[in-house]
Amino acid sequence: MLLISNNLGVLPRPFFPTTTGRDYTLSPYLNELAGFRNDFTVISGLSHPDVDGGHSTENCLLTGARGPTRSGFRNTISLDQFAAEKLGQVTRFPTLNLGVNIDKANRSLSWTRDGVLLPAQDSAAALFRKMFVQGDSAAVRKQLQRLDERGSILDTLLDDTRQFSRQLGSNDRARLDQYFTSVREVEQRLHTAREWELRPKSETNQTLPDDITDKKLFFEQFELMLSMARLAFESDSTRIVTLMVDAFATPSFKLKDDQQTTDGYHNLSHHGQAEDKVRQLEDADQLQMSLLRKLLQNLADRSEGGQRLLDRTMVLFGSNMGNANTHDNTNLPVLLAGGGFKHGQHLAFNRDHNKPLCNLYVSMLQRLGVATNEFASSTGTVTGLVTV
């Protein structure tokens, strides 16, 4: 499962088709994906109930946590972490959380059950070393020692809190039991991490990539991180990857033919129908669709278990922004590709009374093998989305 978000979205009019069903006419943007028409579904009329406030919603795309602008707001568990909890650690990394031009301290697609931000990895080289470069015996011993030290801290913490719990009333004791459960889960993850540290890492014939640190090379960074996600799936280093493309934090950037935008991505998104800004955004959106096409092609060209890797991989492209120009958080742009669904359609729900985006998440979780009928604000699954 690969979950991709640009936190400024795309221009809605050229993205969404004007017709529906399986005989729909491809929109200008989706024409870029024409060769994969039967490998993706575009969905309109989805959003998160009570998740509004413009840019404040960017951290809620995979959580659906309500009221991000309210006082005392706390995020909830994200789709990737929920899936990883249910599936258990069957790969070296339960999930990988990646970013492009991302403000790592404040933005992420990935959040813990307690609503804590998980920082994104924005270095392709560091990610490559993490997945494939085996340390020497001394480095492995050092890492095992770190894991053991963390375990001993948790042991001490549990001993102290158990003594403290005898002084508490029933309500506080129940809350402390929830805390104990969380600590036990961390202990289990540390134990699993120790086991994986003793195993050799996956091998690859790819070379260590060079990081692209210039924020102006936005699409080059985007393409590089997509290739790293594909490599993670090919090597079975993980089954779940998130990728936040932080357009909000992106300054003026390079477009095609070495053309550079006249302003930063965020300022362009507030175009006010200015022709020059809209034209630049259209070029940027077309480049995004081009990168998505290349990703689908790369996944289709590789096989696993007698199937195309694309058929075994759900790729979700979307955004918390339905229209960045007006800070609208409804009618979100959503495209789902691969994963063994019966694609080739435009599923259109009511644009005035949207269906919960989390209904799609439930459908994806079930396809991933997670036995659940609900997630966050869901009311069921997505009607019309069926597997092959």
Task: Note the pLDDT tens digit of each residue in 159-194.
Answer: 777 777 777 887 787 777 766 666 666 666 666 666
Helix (H, G, I), strand (E, B) or coil at 254: strand
pLDDT for 172: 82
pLDDT for 180: 67
What's at 169, amino acid-wise?
A: G
pLDDT (tens digit, 9 = 90+) per residue, 224-237?
999 999 999 999 99
The sign of the CA dihedral 251, 257, 262, 267 is negative
Helix (H, G, I), strand (E, B) or coil at 202: coil
For residue 185, what are the CA distances in angstroms to 49, 62, 86, 291? 30, 22, 12, 38
CA dihedral (239, 294, 208, 102) in degrees, to 10, reads: -70
pLDDT (tens digit, 9 = 90+) per residue, 361-372?
999 999 999 999
- Continuous segment of H or E residues that includes residue 220: helix 218-234
Helix (H, G, I), strand (E, B) or coil at 62: coil
pLDDT for 274: 97
pLDDT for 183: 66
Share of the chain above pLDDT 70, in %: 90
**Number of Cβ within a 10 Å radius of residue 71:** 5
Residue 197 pLDDT exceeds 70:
no
What pTM, to 2 d.p., does this model score?
0.89
Average pLDDT, the chain: 91
